[in-house]
Structure 1
Amino acid sequence: METSFGLDYASLEDTGFVAKYQASCFCGAVRYEVSADPVDAKICHCTTCQRLHGAPMQWAAIFHKHHVRFIAGLEDLFFYNSEQNRPERILPCKVRCGKCGTPIADEGRRMWLAFPSLFDFGYPVEVPESFKPTCHLFYGSRVIEIQDDLPKWSGHKNYSELL
């Protein structure tokens, strides 16, 4: 559904939307809900994710965008297209809170790659099984070895060499 900003997320008026999980940025200005479990979760080791997150890897849970609904802060979003090096919502792009700078998600044309660390899983934290990573991507670019039993792909899952 279209919002007032032309973004294809669920709207607040969607009475059929039932929130299953909630997420927010560090300062709380940007808050959103999802109405389904992720379709997949992964850990990305590409150099773009490393640089933009200031971390050795990025953990993402992947949702269809129509399962995402902003409840606050849509006007505070900052978009950045890393392929064109432009601070615009040119899909795919990175999404951050414009107030505190928290990375919110990677937005694709139909998918929303959310960062599970922004979700409220209660305390003590109990990450749902559907949010747990199923593989590593771009593992050849890793900066640290990860000792787990997850498949490690040289690029995208099922479209590259299994390392």
Structure 2
Amino acid sequence: MAQIYIGMGSNIDPMHHVCAGLDALYRWLGPLAVSPVYRSPAKGFTGEDFLNLVVGAQSPLSLEAVRQGLRQIEFQHGRPRDAKKFSSRTLDLDLLSFDDWVLTEPLELPRAEILHNAFVLRPFAELAPQWCHPVVGRTLAELWQHFPQDAPLQPVALAWSVPST
């Protein structure tokens, strides 16, 4: 079983799509660890604020199966297949890490955004403070402690609970 962490974001009806995304991840992966949720401005384009969080799960699936599954969930929740990188999204699911793998192809693991974006690092550090970044050799708690604290992140209460079966 691989320990995976997924960055989740939405800025189109974000509370609805975050909850729907969590429901879909739960049905697919089973028990989830869910970070606090933060509101942050769109980055790289002008758009509505995003809700961002990090989700942890255990998965027996291959890296490629996890990647494909995340894309499928995005598409099922209204993300266009030809969506531009910097654009509004109903649901954005980014695989942040897969165990302690370090890759550049077919995707970058761990994702660079962990080290550069407060809206990824803060919820990830709160969810898994002792997770050690396999490239820089520091825990997420250490990385967040040394991150510039001027990022405009606002905590948001999330009204999600495990779906009934």
TM-score by length of 1: 0.29
Which structure: greater strand fraction? Answer: 1
Structure with more relative contact order (C-alpha pairs < 8 Å, separation 6 or more): 2
